[in-house]
């Protein structure tokens, strides 16, 4: 492969890696009407009848000069990765910060002395919480958010709204399953730290230097046993006045800004 061809391939791959795919008729319609989104390509099942909301979606895409591609139901399910719920519709949206976890792992290997904090989510399923977490991460010195494609809320218009649109700008690294992503991070010299009420170390005792991934668990039952077993340490946020726990988005804000207030 000639060098110019290689550069074009890398640039093209980087662009397609940064696309977020939203599926479902109402979510796609809302995404097409949400300010500041940059839809790239609309995907429709060939079996859709061009009436009702489908007709509205097609009209919106045409008015914005968005490419429309028609697929078999099976091919569309591969694009949406959720054939049971995509309702024959998906749209790709440009999000420059959305990228595979391997990019961060390579950065870590290439820069062994750089300090990196990453927040990872284990089965956080509430779209409002996810949007607020993304907003906090984006405003902080944190290197980004690790969002597994399985087990957590999907990025949809509710998440975009809760994040005040920052989801389209914030560094969000994706992996298929969290356990595999944590294995990648360990191999890239990250310490894996789980947030838990009974953690042996307090958050303020974790050094500001080094590479750390802090894992926040499910809104109801916290970290899963599988993810807890992969942690190098469990870390707690000290609480007062008998308060037993924080909302996951509040905990994420404390972790994301910890380096600013580290003694």
Please indicate, yes or no, if residue 6 is contained in any of the structural domains: no
**Residue 124: closest CA among 96, 87, 162:** 162
178 and 50 within one domain: no
Six-digit token pair at 147?
């969002």
For range 140-164, the mean pLDDT: 92
Q: Do 219 and 250 reside in the same domain of the chain?
A: yes
- Residue 263 scores a pLDDT above 60: no
Partners of 43 in beta bridges:
69, 90
User: What CATH code is carried by the domain that includes residue 247?
Assistant: 3.40.1280.10
1 CB neighbour count, 10 Å cutoff: 8
> What are residue 67's phi and psi, to 5 degrees?
-65, 135
Pair 73, 197 in one domain: no
Q: Which of 39, 253, 259 is nearest to 131 (CA)?
A: 253
Question: How far apart are alpha carbons 213 and 101 in whole angstroms?
Answer: 12
What are the strands of the beta sheet with 67-71, ordered from one edge? Answer: 19-23, 89-94, 39-45, 67-71
Query: Of 48, 79, 94, which residue constitutes the final position of a domain?
Result: 94
Residue of 23 and 263 predicted with greater confidence? 23
For residues 135 and 121, what is the distance between their CA atoms, to the nearest angstrom? 14
When comparing pLDDT for 147 and 11, which is higher? 147
Flag whether 229 is in a domain: yes
The percentage of the chain sitting over the pLDDT mark of 90, rounded to a whole number, equals 80
Residue 194: name the closest of 184, 180, 210, 182 by CA: 182
Structural domain total, the chain: 2
- The token pair at 245 is 């726990």
Confidence category of residue 36, pLDDT binned at 50, 70, 90: confident
- Say what the pLDDT of residue 7 is: 82
Q: What is the DSSP letter of 241?
A: T
Residue 2 has pLDDT above 80, yes or no: no
Contact call for residues 81 and 149 (beta carbons, < 8 A): yes
Q: What is the span of the domain harbouring residue 229?
A: 98-261
Mean pLDDT on 151-174 = 90
Residues 125 and 48 in one domain: no
Domain co-membership, 70 together with 102: no
Question: DSSP assignment of 31-82, as one string?
Answer: HHHSTT--EEEEEEETT--SSHHHHHHHHHHHHTT-EEEEE-HHHHHHHHS-
Query: How does residue 6 score in pLDDT terms, banded at 50, 70 and 90?
Result: confident
**What pTM, to 2 d.p., does this model score?**
0.86
Tens of pLDDT, residues 41-51: 999 999 999 99
Place of tokens 């046993």: 225
124 and 239 in a single domain? The answer is yes
Residue 220 lies in a domain: yes
Choose among 208, 123, 133, 227: nearest CA to 171.
133
- The answer to whether residue 1 is domain-embedded is no
Same domain? For 122 and 79 the reply is no
Q: What is the CATH number of the domain that holds 27?
A: 3.30.1330.30
């Amino acid at each position: 492969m000639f060098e110019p061809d290689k550069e074009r391939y890398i640039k093209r791959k980087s662009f397609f890696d940064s696309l977020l795919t939203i599926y479902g008729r109402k979510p796609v319609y809302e995404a097409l009407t949400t300010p500041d989104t940059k839809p790239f390509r609309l995907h429709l099942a060939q079996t859709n009848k061009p009436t009702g909301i489908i007709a509205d979606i097609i009209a919106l895409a045409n008015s914005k000069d968005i490419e429309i591609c028609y697929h078999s139901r099976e091919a569309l399910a591969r694009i949406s990765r959720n054939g049971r719920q995509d309702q024959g519709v998906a749209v790709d949206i440009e999000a420059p910060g959305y990228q595979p976890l391997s990019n961060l792992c390579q950065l870590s290997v290439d820069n062994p002395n750089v300090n990196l904090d990453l927040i990872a989510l284990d089965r956080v399923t509430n779209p409002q919480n996810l949007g607020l977490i993304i907003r906090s991460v984006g405003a902080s010195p944190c290197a980004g958010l690790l969002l597994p494609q399985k087990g957590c809320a999907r990025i949809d218009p509710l998440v975009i709204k809760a994040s005040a649109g920052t989801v389209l700008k914030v560094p969000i690294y994706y992996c298929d399953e969290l356990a595999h992503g944590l294995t990648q991070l360990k191999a890239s010299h990250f310490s894996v730290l789980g947030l838990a009420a009974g953690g042996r170390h307090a958050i303020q005792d974790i050094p500001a230097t080094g590479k750390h991934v802090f894992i926040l668990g499910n809104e109801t039952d916290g970290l899963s046993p599988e993810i807890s077993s992969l942690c190098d340490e469990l870390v707690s946020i000290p609480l007062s006045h008998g308060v037993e726990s924080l909302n996951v988005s509040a905990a994420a804000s404390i972790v994301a800004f910890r380096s600013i207030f580290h003694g």
